[in-house]
Structure 1
């Protein structure tokens, strides 16, 4: 699951609040993920699900941040967590 951090329609805080009510166990706590040398967003890995925010993106994340979104999808398809550095 992912969300732009400037999304006014589905804000990150609302999504995190909803996820907390699912009662999922946290495998990797909230941490920044990187694209190049810049923080691309923040992510938290749960059992069975990963949530990632994309910095500088609104409701249509790929439209606002195509490179960061591509990296997010590459990590997802490879089954790897988002890069910490």
Structure 2
């Protein structure tokens, strides 16, 4: 697969579909490839799922409350250019949890550039990634690795360039 380094690859959908429709890849995922319909192809987005999904949960807020009360470290990240799940929507539902603010909004840096913004609540942290869309690792892979490394290592994201 060809990859454009340092940014969004407009051909990612084509490349992903081609990759996941390879027999060796499906076999490695233990997908049912024996006797499968030869007209079937894996698609990046399948609208049939949206028509058949049963939206039975009114809110996931109680789940977050339970995770936080259980002492788990919870980070929520969002690209600040995400048109599907905008940062403002994420802020609304997190503020609905009523958590006390531990440290207010501040800038974090990656490679001497603004990486985004971060705010910490008691039990939950929100991180935005500057210039990233809905698929943060696709739009900003280096920043995404930095974010995940910070979360897993328990180290703070850098707040100075």
Q: Same fold (TM over 0.5)?
A: yes
What is the alpha-carbon distance in structure 1 between the residues aligned to residue 94 and residue 144 of structure 2? Answer: 21
Aligned match of 1:29: 104
TM-score, length-scaled by structure 2: 0.52
The higher relative CO (CA closer than 8 Å, separation ≥ 6) is in 1
Q: Secondary structure at the match of 1:71?
A: helix
Aligned match of 1:19: 94
Q: Secondary structure at the match of 2:142?
A: helix
2:151 to 73, 76, 79: 76
Residues 1:44 and 2:112 aligned together: no
- For residues 50-71 of structure 1, give each alpha carbon's deviation from its aligned partner in whole angstroms, at most 9, with x where no partner exists: 1100001000000000000000
What is the alpha-carbon distance in structure 1 between the residues aligned to residue 121 and residue 157 of structure 2? Answer: 13
Q: Which has the larger radius of gyration?
A: 2
Residues 1:4 and 2:99 aligned together: no
Aligned match of 2:15: none
Q: Which has the higher helix share?
A: 2
What is the alpha-carbon distance in structure 1 between the residues aligned to residue 157 and residue 102 of structure 2? Answer: 13
Tell me how far 1:80 sits from its aligned partner. 2.1
Segments of 5+ residues of structure 1 without an aligned counterpart are none
Q: Which has the higher strand share?
A: 1
TM-score, length-scaled by structure 1: 0.96
